[in-house]
């Protein structure tokens, strides 16, 4: 495989038409595509020359470049969902390198307006295999429990599952949450959760673009077995100062954006507003009410458009959750956890054929729980530091080749200290240098064929592991409406996450080391993407994933003191396969999507449950999600979301016994005997509805009032069953529900 | 049908045939349960044999006792040859098998349990008794509850071939009364009358590794009593038990069944039992005890 890729890459370079004599006469068209109303760069906008089926998509900097264009006159068409199509006729001279920056006007729906769209308008990059993009408008429209959330919106896409109504964790194509790389402005985020996992840290006001690589992701990414969520914050309005304020039931948000002489800036703040409610509950002497609970996050970015070819930006995110909860007389927990990320980015265009991006990143995660129970303290100091530098290059030697290469190198430090009763009981500290480099060629021998071949090399210092990851995908477009796609990739993962579906506030990341090799897996994906009629995408994908050398904390380990590092883990394997269907109408008064997923995932750990294959809890055979938006009237918008999922795996105890002669304590030892995770919960289904009204607020601001109801028809979905041993030697089964009743949500947003 | 639709139909039909789940269902047949704990230096204990009960039924160890098994515990040498065999007989008064002859359990010694049931099936397990250890020093025999001056004891180390010693600490009240409950346990037990003290008469820690404790220059370990373990003011007995692999595995896996760990809610793994042909525990321990007075 590696040899094949090497031959392919070398041959691609040697045979590049750039070497041809007439290459000197070819022209190049490049530039940035922006939103005309804000100046924000648009990621993955489509730029097409109407003649000759030549085109490109903007990259993550909003930049496009089309090389190898024969001299002549062309109609340049630029499209992006939610914006009016842009057309301009350009005449390119032999050898000309034309910079064409393009601003797209947002499409504003007016009653009675007929929106003209191009035939078979497609976003090329989004139509790649395994890729999905989510607009922040959609995130804000989807009915949400208390607060709009990026991850909960992602959970609606085919191939992405939610573990429960209470978890924003992403279970993508059979992978656990740690198998997904989460990037914010190119920086790794290690705990993307607020409210102990209830929703994600990403403030939808600040987010510009969310891209999900569900599988078969390209060589520029690495370090996770399954998938990538790549999130970019807004640059800030480059045209005029604006801002908005949103007041919700759980949290309130504010954002301000402004241009300045050489660029733009953005600051977004979100904070929970639960204190008044907590005070009322505390005054009523209700048990289990925290003495203190809040969370906040702040996102900021400053951009400097230094020259036509240089753009610099500095961005940061900081967020924290804090809880103080007495849970009995003489027992309490204090918990602080959060993230800080910062990145400095330099985009430099060396030439019309060579684009580059350099980033310095810093990411810090901390979780500091302190328990005081009966005069005995248990304290944990859990921190992750990740500092890195990365560079990405795009080289366009001809219209047939786009060569991408880059590096990512840094230092990962993890520290975990436990103190029990004033005595240190655990002290782990691992510091690891890591480095990765990749090379990828996107080869288009004809307009109908695209071959992406790449290889990524990874080195992880903790354990001194060097691994190579080949990636290959092929797309054939027999007609403008049909894309046939297939891909393969090998992926390695050098970190693992200790977490709980119940509580993400004390997540711990551990790494490979001597005796703990990296996990790896192969992914095979294939798909058909079609557009049977304009503005209707019907996509189908199948996948198979293997997972080898999975390493995770031994779940039975009561005490890690004095153990060698490999003794903390259990090692296993798994696989996942499935198929996904997505039917999507992106534009029009009625738009939305329906996604169906058929999925199977299994795990096996030697010595666990006799080494049998088992289904993890998040294994669910069928999922159906329907998201529909209705813009029927000028000021009113309706949104409905229906979700159906067949039952999740769980353990149904079949027999029980007790040990009654316990020599260590006075309690009887109850135990159950069960086939592990061989039962299925009842099917899950839920309908959420939302309505919003937009207009002017006393003449000084635009407003949007949202009223939403979750679980409209009061479906009592089962989260899990809890088995309690009763004093009369029976076992009582209690059904723990997911959101059991209709939950209303109300928010008001003012835009200045 | 246009080409897009035709192609999609083929793909969907093909892949819907792919899914075939290899999971089977587990039988509901009863499983033999063993319960026996060998304590170094003490007489051979009684052994309970019973059967698991359906989960929606009641479990009564006496009612479900297996009365007609042939049961013996053999002492083994380093080559796993039988040194001495102790036969057991069923005792109706206790509902358990008791040794036919009086034999003391030796520390650092391997024992094998073998029970042949009436249907010919065999249940067996092996344990290696932890090495004996002893108390060398105690800093005080009375301490004020939650004062910084905690009870500290120095103990010799217990031999555990191939691994560090693992301890369980238990605190047994010698004068258990409701009014003597410490605030934490009083809150746990609630206000319902009458208060049932049975579950807190002896509190026990989870398994704790030897490496948690300070090693003194003379090789002894200094162990401090955490206040969380004290349920009653007044006289208490502290038991320090070094446990074998079987007890360690059973305790840690049984605790996971009760919740916690990294399993998702609703995932309940089976206990790790080391009992061939059945489940339960054939474990062993070495134990020391001291008495202290916990003052208000």
Probe site for chain B from A499, A537, A651, A663 (most B CB atoms < 10 A)? A663
Burial of A428 (0-12, 13-18, 19+ CB in 10 A): middle
Give the least confident one: A133-147, A417-431, B80-94: A133-147
Indicate the SS3 state at residue B271: coil
Point out the residue among A420, A530, A613 whose CB comes nearest to the CB of B7. Answer: A530
Does B256 contact A556 at a Cβ distance shorter than 8 Å?
Answer: yes
Local confidence band at A691 (pLDDT 50, 70, 90 cut-offs): very high
Residues of chain A contacting residue B210, judged by C-beta atoms under 8 Å apart: 562
Residues A453, A691: Cα–Cα separation, whole Å: 46
Q: At A23, is the pLDDT very low, low, confident or very high (cuts 50, 70, 90)? A: low
Q: Do A376 and B266 touch (CB under 8 A)?
A: no
Among the partner residues B54, B170, B258, nearest to A664 by beta-carbon distance: B170
Report percent pLDDT > 90 for chain A.
72
pLDDT score of A172 more than 60? yes
* Residue B146 sits at the chain A interface (C-beta within 8 Å): yes
Q: For A614-640, give the DSSP string.
A: B--TT--SEEEEEEEEE--SSSEEEEE
- Mark yes or no for CB contact B55/A559 under 8 Å: no
Q: CB distance A655–B52 less than 8 Å?
A: yes
Same domain flag for A146 and A269? no
pLDDT at B21 over 80: no
Least-confidence region, from A76-80, B22-26, B273-277: B22-26
Q: Which residue of A has its CA nearest to B2?
A: A532
Judged by CB atoms closer than 8 Å, whether chains meet at B269 and A676 is answered as yes
pLDDT in tens, A219-271: 999 999 999 999 999 999 999 999 999 998 888 999 999 999 999 999 999 99
A470 and A337 share one domain: yes
Q: What is d(CA A263, CA A247) in angstroms, rounded to the nearest whole number?
A: 29
Is the same domain home to A401 and A493? yes
Same domain, A488 and A435: yes
Is B33 touching A (CB cutoff 8 A)? yes
Residues of B within 8 A of A621 (CB-CB) are 19, 21
Query: Average pLDDT of A9-30?
Result: 61
Residue A238 lies in a domain: yes
3-state helix, strand, coil in chain B (%, to 5): 15, 40, 45
Residues A289 and A334 in one domain: yes
Burial label for B118, CB within 10 Å (0-12, 13-18, 19+), is exposed
Tell whether A109 is covered by a domain. no
| DSSP 8-state assignment for residue B269 | P
Q: Residue A604: list chain B partners with CB under 8 A.
A: none
Residue A398 has pLDDT above 90, yes or no: no
| B17 close contact with A: CB closer than 8 A | no
Rounded CA-CA distance B248/B272 in Å is 9
Q: Which of A231, A246, A267 is at the close of a domain?
A: A231
Name the domain boundary from A175, A208, A231: A231
CB contact under 8 A, A482 and B5: no
Question: Do residues A206 and A243 share a domain?
Answer: no
- For the residues A583-589, what does the mean pLDDT come to? 89
Q: What is the CATH number of the domain that holds A533?
A: 2.40.170.20
Residue of B48, B150, B263 with shortest CB distance to A661 = B48
Please indicate if any CB of chain A lies within 8 Å of the CB of B149: no
Chain A residues whose CB is inside 8 A of the B263 CB are: 555
Maximum alpha-carbon separation in chain A: 93
Is it the case that residue B17 has pLDDT exceeding 60? no
Distance CA A219, CA A471 (A): 6
Whether residue A119 is contained in a domain is answered as no
Residue of A483, A657, A678, A734 to mutate for B, most B C-beta atoms under 10 A: A657
The two three-digit tokens of residue B41, written as one number: 């230096």
Q: Which residue of B has its CA nearest to A618?
A: B264
- The answer to whether residue A120 is domain-embedded is no
Interface touch B224/A614, C-beta < 8 Å:
no
Give the nearest chain B residue to A663 (CA atoms).
B37
| Interface mutation target, options A173, A371, A374, A674, chain B, most CBs of B under 10 Å | A374
pLDDT in tens, A638-652: 999 999 999 999 999
Does the pLDDT value for residue A20 go beyond 60? no
A405: closest CA among A426, A390, A388? A390
Residue B246 has pLDDT above 70, yes or no: yes
pLDDT at res. A104: 95
Task: Name every chain A residue with its beta carbon within 8 A of the beta carbon of B227.
Answer: 374-376
Tell which wins on pLDDT, A514 or B2: A514
Domain of A154, CATH number, reads: 2.170.130.10
SS (H, E, C) A531-592: EEECCEEEEEEEEEEEEEEEEEECCCCCCCCCCCHHHHEEEEEEEEEEEEEEEEECCCCEEE
Q: How many domains does chain A have?
A: 3
Same domain, A223 and A268: no
Q: Is B5 on the interface with A (CB under 8 A)?
A: yes
Q: Please, are residues A166 and A719 in contact by the beta-carbon 8 Å criterion?
A: yes
Chain A touched by B12 (CB under 8 Å): yes
Instruction: Choose the weakest-confidence range: A280-284, A510-514, B180-184.
Output: A280-284
**How far apart, in whole angstroms, are the C-alpha atoms of residue B269 and residue B267?**
6
Q: Evaluate if residue A574 carries a pLDDT over 90.
A: yes
pLDDT value of residue B26: 46
Shared-domain flag, residues A581 and A700: yes
Mean per-residue pLDDT for A470-476? 97
Query: Nearest Cβ partner of B58 from A501, A618, A729?
Result: A729
Note the pLDDT of residue A108.
65
B288 touches chain A (CB under 8 A): no
Inter-chain contact A653–B55, Cβ cutoff 8 Å?
yes
| Mean of pLDDT over chain A | 90
Most A CBs within 10 Å: which of B47, B94, B228, B260, as the mutation test of the A interface? B228
Q: What is the pLDDT of residues A291-347, one digit of tens each?
A: 999 999 999 999 999 999 999 999 999 999 999 999 888 899 999 999 999 999 999
Q: pLDDT at position A123, please?
A: 62
Q: Report if residue A499 sits inside a domain.
A: yes
Contact A421 B224 (CB under 8 A): yes
Question: Which residues in chain A are closer than 8 Å to B21, comparing Cβ atoms?
Answer: 600, 621
Alpha-carbon radius of gyration of chain B:
25
Across the interface, of A425, A555, A657, the residue whose CB is closest to B52 is: A657
* pLDDT in the model for residue A516: 97
Indicate if A236 and A175 belong to the same structural domain. Answer: no
CA A178 to CA A176: how far, in whole Å? 6
Residue A152 belongs to a domain: yes
**Residue A184 sits in the same domain as residue A276:** no
Give the closest of B37, B60, B209 to A661, CB-based: B37
The pair of structure tokens assigned to B218 is: 């003379």
3-state helix, strand, coil in chain A (%, to 5): 10, 60, 35
**Nearest-CA neighbor of A297 among A245, A258, A255, A335?**
A255
A117: in domain: no
pLDDT per residue over A99-139, tens digit each?
Answer: 999 999 998 644 333 333 333 445 666 778 888 888 888 88
Contact list in A for residue B187 (CB cut-off 8 A) is 328-331
Residue from the list A654, A659, A678 with its beta carbon closest to the beta carbon of B280: A659
Asked if residue A426 is part of any domain, the answer here is yes
Residue B256 and residue A328: Cβ atoms within 8 Å?
no
The first and second tokens of residue A279, run together, are 């005070």
**Between A and B, how many CB-CB pairs are < 8 A?**
276
Residues A337 and A459 in one domain: yes
Asked if the C-beta of B41 comes within 8 angstroms of chain A's C-beta atoms, the answer is: no
Range of the domain at A37: 2-104
The pLDDT of residue A51 is 66
The residue from A40, A69, A104 where one domain ends is A104
Tell me if A55 sits within 8 A of A47, measured CB to CB: yes
CB A199 within 8 A of CB A151: yes
CATH of the domain at A11: 2.60.40.1120
Query: How much is the ipTM here?
Result: 0.90
- Judged against a pLDDT cut of 90, whether residue A388 lies above it is answered with yes
Closest CA to A369 of A423, A426, A322: A322
A268 vs chain B: nearest CA distance in angstroms?
34
- pLDDT tens digit string along B179-227? 999 999 999 888 777 888 988 999 999 999 999 888 999 999 999 899 9
- Candidates A287, A288, A375, A668: best to mutate against B (most CBs of B within 10 A) is A375
pLDDT at A276: 85
Q: What is the pLDDT of residues A156-166, one digit of tens each?
A: 999 999 889 98
Kindly state whether B285 is in contact with chain A, defined as any CB-CB distance less than 8 angstroms: yes
**Model confidence pLDDT, tens digit, residues A533-567:** 888 999 999 999 999 999 999 999 999 988 999 99
Residues A180 and A57 in one domain: no
* Residue carrying structure tokens 């204090």: A334
CB contact under 8 A, B266 and A542: no
Cα nearest neighbour of B243 on chain A: A664
């Amino acid at each position: 495989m590696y040899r094949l890729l090497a031959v392919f890459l070398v041959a691609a370079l040697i045979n590049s038409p750039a070497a041809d004599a007439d290459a000197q006469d070819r022209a190049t068209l490049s530039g940035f595509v922006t939103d005309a109303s804000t100046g924000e760069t648009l990621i993955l906008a489509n730029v097409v020359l109407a003649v000759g089926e030549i085109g490109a998509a903007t990259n993550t900097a909003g930049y496009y470049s089309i090389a190898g264009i024969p001299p002549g006159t062309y109609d340049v068409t630029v499209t992006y969902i939610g914006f009016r199509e842009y057309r301009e006729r350009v005449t390119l001279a032999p050898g000309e390198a034309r910079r064409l920056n393009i601003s797209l006007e947002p499409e504003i729906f007016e009653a009675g307006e007929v929106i003209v769209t191009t035939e078979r308008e497609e976003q090329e990059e989004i139509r790649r295999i395994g890729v999905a993009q989510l607009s922040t408008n959609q995130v804000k429209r989807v009915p949400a429990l208390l607060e709009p959330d990026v991850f909960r919106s992602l959970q609606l896409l085919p191939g992405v599952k939610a573990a429960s109504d209470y978890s924003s964790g992403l279970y993508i194509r059979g992978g656990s949450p740690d198998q997904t790389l989460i990037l914010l402005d190119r920086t790794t985020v290690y705990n993307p959760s607020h409210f102990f996992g209830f929703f994600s840290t990403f403030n939808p006001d600040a987010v510009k673009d969310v891209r999900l690589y569900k599988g078969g992701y390209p060589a520029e990414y690495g370090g996770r077995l399954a998938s990538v969520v790549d999130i970019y914050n807004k640059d800030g309005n480059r045209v005029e100062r604006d801002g908005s304020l949103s007041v919700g039931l759980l949290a309130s948000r504010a954002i301000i954006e402004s241009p300045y002489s050489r660029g733009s800036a953005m600051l977004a703040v979100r904070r929970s507003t639960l204190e008044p409610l907590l005070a009322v509950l505390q005054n009523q002497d209700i048990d289990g009410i925290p003495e203190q609970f809040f969370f906040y996050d702040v996102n900021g970015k400053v951009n400097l458009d230094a020259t036509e070819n240089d753009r610099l930006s500095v961005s940061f995110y900081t967020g924290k959750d804090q809880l103080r909860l007495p849970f009995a007389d003489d027992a309490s927990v204090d918990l602080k956890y959060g993230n800080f990320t910062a990145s400095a980015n330099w985009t430099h265009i060396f030439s019309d054929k060579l684009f580059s991006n350099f980033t310095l990143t810093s990411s810090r995660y901390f979780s500091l729980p302190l328990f005081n129970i009966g005069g005995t303290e248990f304290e944990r100091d859990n921190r992750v530091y990740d500092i890195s530098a990365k560079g990405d290059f795009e080289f366009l030697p001809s219209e047939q080749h786009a060569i991408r290469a880059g590096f990512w190198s840094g230092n990962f430090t993890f520290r975990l200290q436990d103190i029990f009763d004033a005595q240190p009981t655990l002290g782990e500290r691992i510091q690891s240098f890591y480095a990765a480099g990749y090379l990828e060629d996107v080869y288009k021998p004809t307009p109908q064929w695209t071959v992406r071949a790449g290889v990524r090399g990874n080195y992880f210092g903790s354990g001194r592991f060097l691994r190579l990851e080949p990636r290959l995908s092929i797309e054939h477009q027999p007609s403008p409406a049909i894309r046939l796609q297939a891909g393969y990739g090998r992926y390695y993962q050098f970190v693992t996450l200790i977490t709980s579906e119940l509580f993400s506030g004390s997540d711990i990341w551990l790494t490979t080391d001597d005796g703990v090799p990296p996990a790896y897996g192969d992914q095979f994906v294939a798909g058909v993407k079609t557009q049977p009629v304009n503005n209707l995408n019907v996509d189908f994908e199948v996948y198979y994933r293997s997972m080898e050398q999975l390493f995770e904390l031994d779940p039975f380990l009561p005490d890690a003191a004095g153990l060698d590092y490999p003794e903390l883990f259990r090692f296993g394997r798994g696989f996942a396969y499935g198929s996904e269907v997505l039917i999507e109408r992106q534009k029009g008064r009625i738009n939305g999507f329906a996604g169906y997923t058929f999925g199977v995932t299994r795990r096996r750990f030697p010595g666990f449950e006799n080494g049998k294959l088992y289904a993890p809890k998040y294994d669910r055979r069928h999922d159906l999600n329907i998201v529909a938006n209705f813009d029927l009237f000028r000021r009113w918008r309706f949104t409905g979301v229906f979700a159906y999922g067949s039952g999740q795996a769980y353990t149904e105890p079949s027999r029980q016994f007790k040990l009654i002669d316990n020599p260590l304590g006075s309690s009887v030892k109850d135990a159950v005997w069960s086939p592990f995770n061989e039962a299925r919960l009842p099917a899950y289904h839920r309908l959420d509805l939302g309505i919003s009204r937009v207009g002017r607020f006393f003449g000084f601001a635009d407003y949007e009032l949202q009223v939403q109801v979750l679980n409209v028809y009061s479906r009592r979905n089962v989260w899990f069953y809890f088995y309690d041993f009763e004093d009369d030697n029976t076992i009582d089964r209690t059904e723990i529900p997911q959101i059991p009743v209709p939950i209303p949500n109300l928010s008001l947003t003012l835009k200045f | 049908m246009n080409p897009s639709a035709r192609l999609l139909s083929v793909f969907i039909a093909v892949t819907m045939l792919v899914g075939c789940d290899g999971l089977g269902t587990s039988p509901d047949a009863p499983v033999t349960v063993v319960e026996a704990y060998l304590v170094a230096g003490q007489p051979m204990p009684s052994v309970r044999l019973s059967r698991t009960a359906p989960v929606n039924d009641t479990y009564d160890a006496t009612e479900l006792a297996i009365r007609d098994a042939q049961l013996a515990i053999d002492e083994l040498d380093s080559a796993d040859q039988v040194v001495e065999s102790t036969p057991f007989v069923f005792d109706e008064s206790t509902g358990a098998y008791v040794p036919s002859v009086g034999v003391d359990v030796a520390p650092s010694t391997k024992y094998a349990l073998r029970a042949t049931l009436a249907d010919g099936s065999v249940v067996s397990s092996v344990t290696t008794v932890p090495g004996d250890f002893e108390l060398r020093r105690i800093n005080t025999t009375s301490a004020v509850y939650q004062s910084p001056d905690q009870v500290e004891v120095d103990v010799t180390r217990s031999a555990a071939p191939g691994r560090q010693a693992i301890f369980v600490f238990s605190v047994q009240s010698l004068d258990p009364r409701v009014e003597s409950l410490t605030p934490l346990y009083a809150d746990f037990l609630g206000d319902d009358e009458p208060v049932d003290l049975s579950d807190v008469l002896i509190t026990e820690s989870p398994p704790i590794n030897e490496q948690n404790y300070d090693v003194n220059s003379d090789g002894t370990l200094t162990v401090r009593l955490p206040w969380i373990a004290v349920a009653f003011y007044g006289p208490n007995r502290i038991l320090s038990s070094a446990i074998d692999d079987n007890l360690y595995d059973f305790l840690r896996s049984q605790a996971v069944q009760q919740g916690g760990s990294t399993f998702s809610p609703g995932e309940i793994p089976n206990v790790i039992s080391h009992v061939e042909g059945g489940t339960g525990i054939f474990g062993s321990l070495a134990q020391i005890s001291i008495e202290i007075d916990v003052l208000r």
